Amino acid sequence: MPDYDVIILGGGPAGISSLLWCRSLNLSGLLLEQAPELGGQMLMMHHPIADYPGLLPGNGRELRDHFENHLRQFELEWQTGCHIESVNVAGRTVSCNGRQFSAQALIIATGAQRRRLGVAGEEEFRGRGVSDSATRDQLMLAGREVCVIGGGDSAFDDSLILARVCPRVTLIHRSSQFRARRVWMDEVFSHPRISVICNAEVREIIGNQERVSGVVIEDAETRAVRTVPAEGVVIQIGIAPGTEFLAGQVELDSDGYIKTDQRQRTSVKMVYAVGDVTRPVCLSVATAVGHGAIAAKDIAERLRTTSVES
Ligand code: NAP
């Protein structure tokens, strides 16, 4: 017999919701999280959260605390700091920290991580001017000339946040097509302290011993290279799914997100995927939580009918 009804990989809101719903549906569950603490991308939300029904947390960490307390109240089983050595998706076994666990069903809730530019200086100057959150780091960046990299909502939102405390903000984007919402674009393009550079690829982030001093960009058309002075650089170029460990085992889309149907079923029997790892239409805690409920419900139904039939 497998050790559990369900093993859940990932301890963000989708994984946590899955574990809670397993309990409600009388399924034994184990949640494994690689990071030292639960929360996933909730821990990257540094602003007040106004659209999660019933709670008005000051930031994602506060929301995570509510979720974790909920798990504790029901004495559910989870482990953090898990080094996942291997996952046999079809066999529904997971090797983690030298132990092997098996289950009747697997829920993959490994989320998505921030994309990296992959240029020199990006990691070197992290914490010395390079940031991935204006909300969190605005005090560190206040009073400085800054660049924001990206063309989506996050880059535009961060540019507007920084323009309140910085004398000059330069938004740098690799094309002239933006993903950001119209209202933020209008505000950014007309803001007296924000300038926008389009069609520019970041080649390097430079600086001295102490901190960042500029961003080297190359014009996508003319190939001219120049340096934009900056004492702070906020990189907001979206997220990518955490699915490398699944390559060849489950069907992924061209960007590496797991393909699912409406019940969160993947291409492999009794294997589900929930939350950001599935590229939901609306990236949000609420969507992730809903996915967890759907997957657990479908698993419970399948296990019930299987045992009735056998
Ligand atoms: P996004 O919408 O995926 O935008 C990412 C941006 O980064 C795109 O403009 C993309 O350019 C660019 N990019 C990607 N890879 C790059 C690379 N290697 N080098 C340079 N540029 C690169 O990501 P996001 O802005 O983080 O938003 C993610 C989701 O969160 C969205 O659904 C958004 O609506 C949501 N969000 C909501 C709020 C809010 O409601 N308050 C705030 C922030 C974000 P291309 O277009 O050329 O690919």
Question: For position 272, what pLDDT does the model report?
Answer: 98
Question: For position 142, what pLDDT does the model report?
Answer: 97
Question: For position 306, what pLDDT does the model report?
Answer: 80
Under-70 pLDDT residues of the chain: 307-310
- Is 63:57 a contact under the CB 8 Å cutoff? yes
22 lines ligand 1 (CB under 6 A): no
Q: Which atom of ligand 1 is nearest to the CA of 283?
A: 32
Question: For position 257, what pLDDT does the model report?
Answer: 96
Sheet holding 168-172, edge to edge: 130-131, 232-235, 145-149, 168-172, 194-197
Question: For position 307, what pLDDT does the model report?
Answer: 67
Q: Which of 113, 132, 154 to mutate to test the pocket of ligand 1 (most atoms within 8 A of CB)?
A: 154
115 lines ligand 1 (CB under 6 A): yes
Q: What is the DSSP string of the chain?
A: --SEEEEEE--SHHHHHHHHHHHHTT--EEEE-SSSSS-GGGGG--S---SSTT---SSHHHHHHHHHHHHHHTT--EESS--EEEEETTTTEEEETTEEEEEEEEEE---EEE-----BTTTTTBTTTEES-HHHHHHHHTTSEEEEE-SSHHHHHHHHHHHTT-SEEEEE-SSS---S-HHHHHHHHT-TTEEEE-SEEEEEEEE-SSSEEEEEEEETTT--EEEEE-SEEEE---EEES-GGGTTTS-B-TTSPBP--TT-B-SSTTEEE-GGGG--SS-SHHHHHHHHHHHHHHHHHHHHHHHHH-
* 123 Cα to the center of ligand 1, angstroms: 20
174 lines ligand 1 (CB under 6 A): yes
158-198 pLDDT, tens digit per residue, is: 999 999 999 999 999 999 999 999 999 999 999 999 999 99
Question: For position 167, what pLDDT does the model report?
Answer: 98
pLDDT above 90 covers a percentage of the chain that reads 93
Rounded distance, CA 172 to CA 183, Å?
18
Residues forming a β-bridge with 164: none
Question: For position 242, what pLDDT does the model report?
Answer: 85
With 0-12 / 13-18 / 19 or more C-beta atoms within 10 angstroms meaning exposed / middle / buried, residue 113 is: middle
203 lines ligand 1 (CB under 6 A): no
